[in-house]
Structure 1
């Protein structure tokens, strides 16, 4: 009888087929075959309301990949709006490509396949800097923003003009709702337990105003305990006059507009919130 002790088995082994790797490679190849188009309202209007994956470019550099579970134009429109309200960047610099995918394909998390593929090449820097994150909510207003965070690189633009609300006398509540709807970034304000704070009236001039001008107008019309704080990626209004926020760079307190030096954290990878999940498609 042959002595097989100590010998390696020759009649079995392992076979590994990475289907997900193959899918990621095929998706990346299909997107690479497309020609980027300018990120404009007109180009987005030509897209179908279907799920898919997309890529964003800035000045020809590939910066972000994401997915839309329901509607590509709706999802990409959010990015157009975000970029349009920032300092130091212009929509004229932005282009995009996209692919429609079957609805059941989203279960395979195609954007994660692409992210893995491109990170290995050192691409998609905006997938690591908070670009796709939504408003983190009040509990994180105290966060110190890292220096490589999208919001720190491209703070909100208070010089953005807001479409004119009907001139004449209006209530503070109506003006707050108007600014919140029209500003191309989050303007979050206290909506509960406001008492009579928002019942006061404001005289709206017969000219278009910037966000900065509207914030100053609103702050002057509110009780003294209220303040508007401008953080890198959003503005907030609460009855906390005197409270400071680490990353804030401007406050509107009564008739005062105060510019301050924000705290900035050291560069590092930014934890991604559900940036590729359609929260309102």
Structure 2
């Protein structure tokens, strides 16, 4: 080796991982609520979700959503679920300036998996609607939706007093739900409401329906015969059908 020369290799990923783990360990967590997440800067970084003080999920930001955006979305996702109290979910997050050079999320998951069960990372938590073709798919018993099914009897405050098409009532309900409500669309134009939903008028409410179940039943009561609404563990569907889903519960039929 030449005089006055040395080769030096610095293990940046390992050093950054250790620093982050130590920082997370020493910092306090905050409740995963809208009030707290809105105080977080919408910058790039990594975060963890905890239930009962145990890390259950590790995530990172991307080009479309910073820390505030990601945490706010998660805070909404955990609402209206059975077996899960939103106040029991906490978060810790850190802005990371040296971020694009490595996949910190994978490093953190691998680290916490050694001592904790970060099962939300592999449970389908936060997934988008899988679509009609997946409605009959069997759920994994350990999945997020299977462990925390949607709560049909959670209070809602829809922004309509009735006297409008069923499609409008469904739109008002969607605005209140942190999960998917999918209804059959117009043939050949699935993004448009089915004519039955447009032409069927939900009369003015004598008493406004106060839960998700009550709103769905109010819509079914005015639809032509043949419609069925089913609660799957992570979403509600409304189609012209008469069938049983292994993982679903029939809310009602018209």
Structure 1: which 5+ residue stretches go unaligned?
A: 1-14, 255-281
- What is the CA-CA distance between 1:217 and the residue it aligns to? 0.9
* Contact preservation (8 Å) 2:79, 2:86: yes
Residue 156 of structure 1 aligns with which residue? Answer: 150
Structure 2: which 5+ residue stretches go unaligned?
A: 1-7, 188-193
How many corresponding residue pairs? 238
- What is the CA-CA distance between 1:221 and the residue it aligns to? 1.6
TM-score (norm 2): 0.85
* Contact preservation (8 Å) 1:129, 1:150: yes
Larger radius of gyration: 1
Residue 71 of structure 1 aligns with which residue? Answer: 66
Residue 222 of structure 2 aligns with which residue? Answer: 221
| Cα-Cα RMSD | 2.1
Matched, 1:82 2:77: yes
Determine which of 115, 129, 136 is the counterpart of 2:123.
Answer: 129
Determine which of 32, 35, 54 is the counterpart of 1:39.
Answer: 32
* Contact preservation (8 Å) 1:23, 1:113: no
Mapping 1:261-276, distance limit 5 Å: none
Residue 234 of structure 2 aligns with which residue? Answer: 233
- CA 1:36 to 1:231, structure 2 compared with 1: closer, same or farther past 3 Å? same
Residue 18 of structure 2 aligns with which residue? Answer: 25
**Higher relative contact order (CA closer than 8 Å, sequence separation 6+):** 1
TM-score (norm 1): 0.77
Residue 274 of structure 1 aligns with which residue? Answer: none
- Which digits, 9 at most, give the CA deviation of each residue in 1:171-230, with x for residues without a partner? 111111111121121111223322344221102424352000011111122222221111
- What is the CA-CA distance between 1:169 and the residue it aligns to? 0.5
Residue 4 of structure 2 aligns with which residue? Answer: none
- CA 1:126 to 1:144, structure 2 compared with 1: closer, same or farther past 3 Å? same
- CA 1:192 to 1:33, structure 2 compared with 1: closer, same or farther past 3 Å? farther
Residue 201 of structure 2 aligns with which residue? Answer: 201
- CA 1:26 to 1:166, structure 2 compared with 1: closer, same or farther past 3 Å? same
- CA 1:132 to 1:107, structure 2 compared with 1: closer, same or farther past 3 Å? farther
